[in-house]
Amino acid sequence: MSFTLDQFRLDGKVAIVTGAGGRGNSIGRAYALGLATAGAAVVVADLNGEGAQAVADEIVAGGGRAVAVQVDVADEASTLAMATAATDAFGGVD
């Protein structure tokens, strides 16, 4: 059995990563960048809207697709707005 990274391609998929706009090298940022590298469109979500935008900009600058969303996952209306933003930008979430 052989293993290649092509087995993990996410082309055409959409992911939301919460906590992705953290300071510096957060694990959320790493996940967002990894998913984008694998081909997924990424909704970069964080309470820190500026941080989320910075990570989304980084993904787009690298040729990926991403949008930033400021979200408070403890607030239902905020999470619903995040889902709406994902649908508006990419047609839904996988």
User: pLDDT, tens digit, for every residue of 46-62?
Assistant: 999 999 999 999 999 99
Tens of pLDDT along 25-45? 789 999 999 999 999 999 999
Torsion of CA 81, 91, 52, 80, to 10 degrees: 20
* pLDDT the model gives residue 61: 98
The larger pLDDT score, comparing residue 34 to residue 6, is at 34
Strand order in the sheet with 14-18: 14-18, 41-46, 66-70
CA distance 82 to 69: 6
Q: Could you state, in order of their start, the residue ranges of all structural domains in the chain?
A: 11-88
Q: Is the per-residue pLDDT at 3 higher than 70? A: no
According to CATH, the superfamily of the domain at 11-88 is NAD(P)-binding Rossmann-like Domain (3.40.50.720)
How many other C-beta atoms lie within 10 A of the C-beta of residue 23? 8
Structure tokens, 35: 């998913």
* pLDDT the model gives residue 13: 97
